[in-house]
Amino acid sequence: MLWQEEEQQPNTLTKQTVMDVAYEMTCRCLPVDHAYTLSTAIQQALPWFSTEPLAGLHLIHGGESGHGWQRPSGPDSLLYFSRRTKLMLRLPHHRLPDAQALTGMALDVAGHALQVGKLSERPLVGMPALLARYVVMSPQEEEEDFLQRMVTQLQQKGIACRKALCGKTATFQFPEGELWTRSVMVADLKPQDSILLQQHGLGPERQRGCGLFVPQKDIKAVKQGENE
């Protein structure tokens, strides 16, 4: 864990060039490990998606844990969705007109039907704490080495990182092999750094659901909320 005291920095504005796009969806369930099958379906429907550097896919997590419900742990176990569950992409602004093409499509995701509904735009918000559930790592990488690599990447992007914490690992199955990931919380961010990190993320495989940060209330979420 990295924990440093805050240093005063100039309050500069970061231009918003990326936003989240939320689609209404009708889908009874998907496998817990749907990173490859869902990303493949999206890329087939939107051929430009795989080559757009700032495009990303938010994996679907269904209902929150608690109240007697626990997220299944096995990769082949099924996640069941409510009517409020959304299919979400992170896209640069210039791709928003192209993203409309997904509305009305029926996707086949690992043999499960996913009907895509209307689209709504969700601008990024400069919250001080952000969580990425899945950041690509090496299977042999120690926790401290991984965290230091993340901090170095943040600094290379011009993001001041004072508080960071990594959490549990997760793996995904792809045709080319197993992909290892770890969750990362970055806290005490300035608004402009928060927007910048959400726009650019950390690491590869954005189009497969990795490296994307979302706002969190506080640093406890990396331990308590990453499996929601």
Q: pLDDT digit string (tens) for 196-217?
A: 999 999 999 999 999 999 999 7
The answer to whether residues 181 and 110 belong to one domain is no
How buried is residue 206: exposed, middle or buried, by Cβ count under 10 Å (0-12/13-18/19+)? buried
Residues of the chain with pLDDT > 70: what percent?
A: 82
Residue 181 lies in a domain: yes
pTM of the predicted structure, to 2 decimals: 0.86
Question: Average pLDDT, stretch 44-64?
Answer: 91
Token digits of residue 202 = 């950390």
Q: pLDDT digit string (tens) for 123-148?
A: 999 999 999 999 999 999 999 999 99
Domain boundary among 123, 148, 171: 123
Inform me whether the pLDDT recorded for 9 exceeds 80: no
Q: What is the pLDDT of residue 227?
A: 45
* Phi and psi, residue 223, nearest 5°: -95, -40
Domain assignment of residue 27, given as a range: 18-123
Domain count, the chain: 2
Residue 195 lies in a domain: yes
- The CATH number of whichever domain residue 35 belongs to comes to 3.30.70.1890
Q: How far apart are CA 33 and CA 192, in angstroms?
A: 33
